[in-house]
Structure formats: C-alpha cells, structure tokens
Amino acid sequence: MAARRSVDRRRLTLLHETIAPELLRYFLRRTTEPADAADLLAEAFLVAWRRIRDLPTDDHEAKLWMYGVAGRVHGNWVRGRRRAERLAAPLRAQLQNAVVPPVDDEALDVRAAVAALPNDQRELIMLVYWDGLPVPDAAAALSISLTTARGRVHRAKRVLRGALADAPQSAAEFDRPGSPAAVRTAD
C-alpha cells in the first residue's frame, strides 16, 4: 500500500510539473480573477489525486484526461457562481432599499468602544444589543452557560461605560433604550 501511494504521488507530481502551467492558462482564459484560476487548478489536481487510479498511464492520455477534469471543475464552478448569484439577488435588492441611518460621531464612539472589547465580550454584546437576541439565546448561540453570558455582559457594560464616559453625549445616551449607544440589561 505504501509503495502504491509513493508511485501515485510521483505520477501526480510529474503530471503537475508537466501540465499545471497549461491548465493554469486554460483557467485564466475562462475566469476574470487570477485567484479563481489558481483555485480551479488546485481543485482539478485534488480531483486527480482522489481519482488517481483512473489516471491513464500514457502521458498524452493523462493530459487529455486532465483537460476533461479541468472542464468539469470549471463547469461546476460556473454553476456554483450562477447559483450564488441567484440566491444573492434578493438580498442585494433588499439592501438597495434599506434605510441606513446616518453615522454620527456618537455611533463611531460606540463602535470603537465595542471593537476594543475582548472577542468573547464583543461578540456577546453585538448579539444582544445589535442583533437583538436575548441573553439566554445569545448564550446558546455561543455555546456558553447563561451565567457566563450574564457575567460577560456585565463586565462589557462596565468597560463600555468607562470608555464612553469621555464623550458626555455618548455617556448620557448609553443607558437610553433605542439610542445607538444603548446597552441595556437584557437578561
């Protein structure tokens, strides 16, 4: 088994050395982004590795086989992009019609203060106060206990109050429900 894998690895390495530049050009002619072409090349060789036993032993036949693999990989990629576009179209339409409130200095202060929180507190605060999840639901979404979530919310609110105390307007807005700076107790 180990000897077979070694032979397979050598065959694929040799195939890669001889045909990868050609296949990369093949993908570059069919995509608009070089990174997409590189990803497709990697995918084609991944398929070749998985199906190494189907790879013809004749070099010319192996090259043609790889072009067939490349064509199917590209076709799958095109279909996936179309599917993604179809699924994203309603969201794009929704976002074009969305009313975005103007960003003021207060909102920027709040965003900066939240961004400065440790990751675990920041994600919890964002789930609870920006995404509107109750603390128990946010705890479940983060796979933490309710007690841990409540403690993190408490510590985060204390840090945010301190960070926003320098901005008098923001500090006053901080506890008013519905304001951009609102961080209310949701447990």
Q: What is the CATH number of the domain that holds 168?
A: 1.10.10.10
Same domain, 116 and 164: yes
Same domain, 10 and 93: yes
Residue 124 Cα distances to 18, 35, 93, 102, 144, angstroms? 52, 35, 29, 25, 10
Same domain, 72 and 22: yes
* Domain of residue 59, residue span: 2-97
The pLDDT value recorded for residue 180 is 46
Task: List pLDDT tens digits, range 89-111.
Answer: 998 888 888 776 666 767 788 88
Picking from 13-22, 96-105, 121-130, 155-164, which range would have the lowest pLDDT averaged per residue? 96-105
Task: List pLDDT tens digits, range 49-99.
Answer: 999 999 998 999 999 999 999 999 999 999 999 999 999 999 888 888 877
Same domain, 20 and 59: yes
> 130 in a domain, yes or no?
yes
Q: How far apart are CA 53 and CA 87, in angstroms?
A: 37
- Residue ending a domain, choose from 66, 97, 128: 97
> 155 in a domain, yes or no?
yes
